[in-house]
């Protein structure tokens, strides 16, 4: 490939190459929206604050895609399995009447355990359907989410915050966390700077998760998992148990998904039960793909960049759309952008993997 | 494709019975489920039969539209959602023009055709670029197209697209209402020829069109094109070597499927009588696929008979599950969630089994 250097020593073609056109286009669009928002006189400080919050609350769910992609099972379309585990853990913490950080960390711990168990079973399934993990994962997720709807209807919880006040069956559709662990991370050490509120605790928690992931990918287990993902046959011939490390990837991914939804819920302030987790996997998958990952390769930076771009675009697009045209344009943009991105990744040649 | 049962002590009859049971495990399981459910639902038989007739007439066409891509090796075409959208675009147009009756219905079939061909062509190109991942691509394509559909009908209608009809537009004058009353073409096909037999109302014209479609599909697979579908479905590489333009044949298969789905959606809508503008098409793919699989079809094998049997069982389950849930578990909602679980679950299990078989075949 021809590599030209400009006078300023910047290698622009290589820069474009490494960033990739989709990201450049999205960044340009984002900047244009920002300028437009400023022209409209929208409060930029508030916009940036909510970008930070939405970035932090979604990033762990996106981070969960890394072990599954790197271990060769593709983007985890079944992450909703982890999500329902996280929801069970969170409801459990309310039922046990826990409050504040205790409640939050209890939910995180329980969700990680539940997520690992479910991820193990799910991983066994994925090892039997090699090459069709995405489709099977999607429908496994769909069916478990609907099965869990029956669970939410019949769960023997007693806490008045979760059941309907005057009879009615099952748990509420959305449970408020106001007196539980609503924004405990966001507000931890939070401070204001030039009109922007920084959710320090949330970002620190995310940084710890990223650091752990970074370390894990460099351990012996992590390296073996990467080997299995990038070339299963070569890995097998050099004596690595392919199925075992795919399982490790799935367990880790599902557990992170479970933790991810607890973090998401503490920031959002509500637990959304029943069919709410149904389409969440698609947005997580889309985020990492927007960051430049393919269905065979993903890095932590790609997860963070993708989440940031995606969430920033949605945050800025919403008020701009409200001012300019109509109400729920933002939701429509979210659907088109995320699914368009997944389609793009599925048709990329390098991501090939024709199963024949 | 027939593999002989290994020689064993078992008699041939026993072996073939076992094979029959294994091959038809899914429909048998669902028949048992439906029988148990019907017993607990305690619905009067006449009501049950009338309801199932209505639902068979309404949905069979859509389920059958999945068969051609299955046989052409594309798997289950979740992209029929785009066909349903083509049908809805036509129905919205016809309602706007206020053309009702069978004339309106036939016109909407005609109008849906170019849209469906275009959508099918684009879907086919996408599937050719995502070979081996057609099903997940089709599913995501459905979501993506739904986003574009919402963009058009929520924001462009009434602004860029000239559209003046206060009954169909939202009060702001931009975007279509959530429901559009289709009284013009309501029952246009069903009431064309309706026969009552022992208290059962049978929409003969609708069933006639379904039978016609079945015959047409049977005929199609006797033609040269049909044979090409089959050979591409059996082995893409062999077909390519023997001089078939595989990509083109695959695109044609998807176009067929999309057009049939568009017409199927029109039959569905003329029976329902109201268009749920942003919802009617969303579940079309999932429900049709689930029905086909319940009938005993797999990702690579499907027949018209399986489609019809599957539609029957799936919709029987749909009718009885709320009541059965209420009588068994004391909650109608449990039954409703349960049937959604069944729809998704059967697809998941069928896909998993198919992938599993492929792996064991290879090794």
pLDDT digits (tens, 9 = 90+) for B121-135: 999 999 999 888 888
Among candidate residues A182, A152, A334, A188, the one with its CA nearest the CA of residue A262: A182
ipTM of this predicted structure: 0.84
Instruction: Please name the member of A134, A150, A154 whose beta carbon is closest to the beta carbon of B136.
Output: A134
CA distance A67 to A64: 6
Burial class (CB in 10 A: 0-12, 13-18, 19+), B222: exposed
CA distance A141 to A70: 20
Instruction: Please name the member of A146, A328, A339 whose beta carbon is closest to the beta carbon of B144.
Output: A339
Amino acid B7: pLDDT: 53
Rg for chain A (alpha carbons), in Å? 21
What are the tokens at B324?
A: 């059965």
Q: B349 by DSSP, 3-state: which?
A: helix
Contact B154 A328 (CB under 8 A): yes
Amino acid A26: pLDDT: 81
Chain B residues inside the 8 Å CB shell of A132 = 135, 351-352, 354-355, 358
CA distance A299 to A289: 11
The answer, as to whether pTM is greater than 0.90, is no
Report the half-sphere exposure of A227 (CA within 13 A, side-chain side). Answer: 20
Contact B359 A128 (CB under 8 A): yes
Listed range (B141-145, B236-240, B321-325) with the worst mean pLDDT: B321-325
CA distance A200 to A191: 7
Alpha helices (H) in chain B, listed in sequence order = 12-23, 25-41, 45-64, 67-71, 80-97, 101-129, 134-150, 204-220, 224-234, 236-241, 246-272, 284-294, 304-329, 332-362
pLDDT digits (tens, 9 = 90+) for B157-197: 877 887 777 778 887 777 888 888 888 888 888 888 888 88
Instruction: Please name the member of B133, B172, B351 whose beta carbon is closest to the beta carbon of A346.
Output: B133
User: Within 10 Å of residue B351's Cβ, how many Cβ atoms?
Assistant: 26
Q: What is the mean pLDDT of residues A263-292?
A: 90
Q: Quick one: angle between helices B284-294 and B25-41, nearest 10?
A: 110
C-alpha dihedral (A21, A23, A29, A31), degrees to nearest 10 = -120
CB distance B101 to B186 below 8 Å: no
Among candidate residues A265, A252, A271, A277, the one with its CA nearest the CA of residue A112: A252
Tell me B151's DSSP state: I
Residue B220 has pLDDT above 70, yes or no: yes
| β-strand pairing of B274-276 with B194-197 | unpaired
Instruction: Please name the member of A132, A140, A354 whose beta carbon is closest to the beta carbon of B131.
Output: A354
Amino acid A351: pLDDT: 43
Contact A134 B131 (CB under 8 A): no
Strands of A185-240 (E only): list them.
191-193, 196-198
Most confident of A13-17, A40-44, B60-64, B355-359: B60-64
Among candidate residues A19, A242, A248, A135, the one with its CA nearest the CA of residue B293: A135
Does residue B178 sit at the A interface (CB-CB below 8 Å)? no
Burial class (CB in 10 A: 0-12, 13-18, 19+), B285: buried
Residue A354 has pLDDT above 50, yes or no: no
Phi-psi sector, A11: left (phi>0), alpha (psi -120 to 50), beta: beta
Q: What is the mean pLDDT of residues B138-167?
A: 86
Instruction: Kindly report the nearest CA distance between residue B115 and chain A, in angstroms.
Output: 20
Instruction: Kindly report the nearest CA distance between residue A151 and chain B, in angstroms.
Output: 9
Does residue B6 sit at the A interface (CB-CB below 8 Å)? no
What residues does B333 pair with on adjacent strands? Answer: none
Residue A158 has pLDDT above 90, yes or no: no
What are the tokens at B291?
A: 């029905």
pLDDT digits (tens, 9 = 90+) for B79-108: 999 999 999 999 999 998 888 888 999 999
pLDDT digits (tens, 9 = 90+) for A290-325: 888 888 889 999 999 999 988 888 888 777 776 666
Q: What is the mean pLDDT of residues B249-274?
A: 94
CA distance A106 to A70: 29
Could you say which of 3.30.1370, 1.10.20, 1.10.3470, 1.10.150 is the CATH number of the domain covering A23-34+43-189+197-342? 1.10.3470
Amino acid B263: pLDDT: 95
Percent of chain A residues topping a pLDDT of 70: 90
Amino acid A293: pLDDT: 86
Q: B182 by DSSP, 3-state: which?
A: coil
Split at pLDDT 50, 70, 90, the class of B363 is: low
Most confident of A113-122, A183-192, A196-205: A113-122
CA distance A317 to A321: 6
pLDDT digits (tens, 9 = 90+) for B193-209: 888 887 788 898 999 99
Listed range (A86-95, A191-200, A343-352) with the worst mean pLDDT: A343-352
Residue A138 has pLDDT above 80, yes or no: yes
- Report the Cα B302 to chain-centroid distance in Å: 13
Chain A residues inside the 8 Å CB shell of B341 = 143, 146-147, 149-150
Contact B340 A149 (CB under 8 A): yes
Q: B211 or B172, which is more confident?
A: B211
Mutate to test the interface with A, among B123, B130, B247, B325 (most CBs of A within 10 A): B130
Percent of chain B residues topping a pLDDT of 90: 41
Instruction: Kindly report the nearest CA distance between residue A346 and chain B, in angstroms.
Output: 6
Residue A80 has pLDDT above 90, yes or no: yes
What are the tokens at A345?
A: 């990744």
Q: Minimal Cα distance from A282: which residue of B?
A: B140
Amino acid B336: pLDDT: 80
Residue A208 has pLDDT above 50, yes or no: yes
Residue B292 has pLDDT above 70, yes or no: yes
Phi then psi for B256, rounded to 5 degrees? -55, -50
Q: B181 by DSSP, 3-state: which?
A: strand
Tell me A219's DSSP state: S
Q: A331 or A356, which is more confident?
A: A331
Phi-psi sector, B203: left (phi>0), alpha (psi -120 to 50), beta: beta
Q: In Å, what is the CA distance from A196 to each residue of A41, A43, A47?
A: 16, 10, 8
Listed range (A61-65, A124-128, B322-326) with the worst mean pLDDT: B322-326
CB distance A265 to A277 below 8 Å: no
Contact B126 A343 (CB under 8 A): yes
Instruction: Kindly report the nearest CA distance between residue B237 and chain A, in angstroms.
Output: 9
Amino acid B326: pLDDT: 79
Instruction: Please name the member of A138, A335, A346 whose beta carbon is closest to the beta carbon of B147.
Output: A335
Q: Minimal Cα distance from B354: which residue of A?
A: A129
Residue B307 has pLDDT above 80, yes or no: yes
pLDDT digits (tens, 9 = 90+) for A33-43: 888 888 877 78
Does residue A339 sit at the B interface (CB-CB below 8 Å)? yes
CA distance B134 to B79: 9
Amino acid A6: pLDDT: 45
Does residue A164 sit at the B interface (CB-CB below 8 Å)? no
Does residue B301 sit at the A interface (CB-CB below 8 Å)? no
CA distance B53 to B47: 10
Q: Quick one: angle between helices A44-63 and A280-290, nearest 10?
A: 100
Contact B348 A346 (CB under 8 A): no
Instruction: Please name the member of B143, B151, B334 whose beta carbon is closest to the beta carbon of A282.
Output: B143
Mutate to test the interface with B, among A77, A124, A135, A146 (most CBs of B within 10 A): A135
Does residue B223 sit at the A interface (CB-CB below 8 Å)? no
Contacts with B, A 66-85, CB within 8 Å = 77
Contacts with A, B 319-358, CB within 8 Å = 329, 331, 333-334, 337-338, 340-341, 344-345, 347-348, 351-352, 354-356, 358
Percent of chain A residues topping a pLDDT of 90: 35
Residue A195 has pLDDT above 70, yes or no: yes
C-alpha dihedral (A176, A181, A182, A186), degrees to nearest 10 = -160
Q: B275 by DSSP, 3-state: which?
A: strand
Contact B154 A326 (CB under 8 A): yes
| β-strand pairing of B274-276 with B179-181 | antiparallel
Size of interface A-B (CB pairs under 8 A): 136
Contact B147 A339 (CB under 8 A): yes
Residue B214 has pLDDT above 70, yes or no: yes
Residue B249 has pLDDT above 90, yes or no: yes
Split at pLDDT 50, 70, 90, the class of A12 is: low
CA distance A225 to A53: 32
Split at pLDDT 50, 70, 90, the class of A262 is: very high
């Amino acid at each position: 490939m021809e590599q030209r250097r400009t006078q300023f020593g910047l290698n622009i073609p290589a820069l474009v190459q490494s960033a990739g056109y989709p990201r450049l286009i999205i960044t340009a669009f984002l900047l244009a929206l920002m300028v437009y928002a400023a022209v409209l006189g929208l409060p930029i400080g508030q916009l940036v604050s909510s970008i930070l919050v939405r970035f932090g609350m979604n990033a762990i769910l996106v981070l969960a895609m890394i072990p599954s992609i790197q271990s060769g099972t593709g983007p985890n379309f079944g992450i909703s399995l982890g999500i329902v585990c996280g929801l069970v853990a969170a409801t459990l913490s309310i039922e046990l009447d826990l409050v504040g950080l205790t409640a939050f960390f209890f939910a995180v711990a329980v969700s990680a355990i539940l997520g690992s168990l479910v991820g193990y079973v799910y991983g066994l399934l994925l090892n039997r359907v090699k090459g069709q993990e995405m489709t099977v994962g999607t429908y496994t997720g769909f069916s478990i989410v609907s099965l869990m709807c029956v669970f939410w209807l019949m769960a023997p919880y007693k806490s008045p915050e979760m059941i309907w006040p005057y009879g009615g069956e099952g748990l509420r559709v959305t449970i408020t966390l106001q007196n539980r662990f609503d924004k405990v991370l966001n507000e931890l050490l939070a401070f204001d700077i030039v009109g922007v509120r920084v959710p320090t605790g949330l970002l620190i928690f995310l940084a710890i998760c990223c650091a752990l992931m970074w370390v894990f990918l460099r351990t012996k287990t992590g390296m073996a998992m990467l080997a299995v993902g990038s070339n299963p046959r070569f890995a097998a011939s050099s004596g690595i148990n392919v199925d075992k490390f795919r399982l490790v990837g799935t367990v880790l991914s599902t557990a992170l998904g479970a933790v991810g939804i607890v973090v998401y819920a503490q920031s959002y302030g509500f637990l959304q039960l029943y069919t709410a987790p149904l389409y969440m996997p698609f947005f997580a998958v889309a985020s990492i793909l927007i960051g430049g990952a393919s269905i065979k390769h993903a890095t932590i930076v790609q997860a963070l960049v993708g989440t940031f771009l995606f969430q920033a675009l949605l945050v800025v697009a919403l008020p701009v759309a409200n001012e300019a045209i109509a109400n729920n344009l933002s939701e429509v943009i979210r659907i088109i952008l995320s699914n368009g991105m997944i389609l793009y990744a599925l048709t990329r040649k390098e991501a090939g993997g024709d199963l024949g | 494709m027939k593999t002989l049962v290994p020689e064993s002590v078992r008699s041939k009859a026993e072996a073939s019975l076992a094979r029959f049971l294994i091959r038809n495990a899914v429909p048998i399981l669902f028949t048992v489920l439906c029988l148990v459910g019907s017993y607990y639902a305690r619905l009067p038989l006449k009501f049950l039969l009338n309801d199932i007739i209505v639902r068979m007439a309404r949905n069979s066409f859509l389920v059958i539209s999945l068969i051609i891509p299955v046989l052409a090796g594309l798997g289950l075409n979740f992209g029929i959602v785009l066909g349903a959208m083509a049908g809805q675009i036509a129905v919205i147009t016809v309602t706007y023009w206020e053309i009702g009756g069978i004339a309106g219905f036939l016109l909407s079939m005609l109008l849906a055709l170019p849209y469906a061909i275009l959508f099918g062509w684009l879907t086919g190109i996408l599937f050719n670029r995502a070979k081996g991942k057609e099903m997940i691509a089709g599913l995501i394509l459905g979501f993506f197209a739904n986003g574009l559909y919402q963009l058009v009908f929520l924001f462009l209608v009434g602004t860029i697209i000239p559209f003046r009809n206060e009954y169909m537009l939202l009060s702001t004058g931009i975007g279509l209402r959530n429901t559009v009353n289709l009284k013009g073409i309501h029952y246009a096909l069903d009431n064309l020829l309706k026969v009552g037999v022992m208290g059962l109302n049978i929409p003969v014209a609708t069933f006639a069109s379904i039978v016609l479609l079945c015959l047409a599909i049977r005929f199609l697979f006797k033609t040269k094109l049909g044979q090409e579908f089959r050979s591409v479905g059996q082995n893409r590489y062999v077909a390519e070597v023997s001089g078939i333009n595989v990509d083109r044949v695959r695109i044609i298969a998807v176009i067929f499927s999309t057009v049939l789905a568009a017409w199927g959606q029109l039959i569905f809508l003329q029976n329902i009588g109201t268009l749920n503008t942003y919802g009617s098409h969303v579940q079309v793919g999932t429900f049709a696929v689930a029905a086909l699989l319940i009938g005993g079809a797999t990702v690579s094998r499907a027949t018209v008979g399986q489609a019809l049997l599957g539609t029957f069982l799936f919709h029987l389950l749909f009718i009885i599950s709320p009541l059965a849930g209420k009588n068994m578990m004391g909650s109608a909602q449990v039954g409703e969630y349960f049937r959604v679980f069944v729809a998704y679950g059967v697809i998941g299990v069928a896909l998993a089994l198919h992938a599993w078989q492929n792996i064991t075949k290879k090794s």
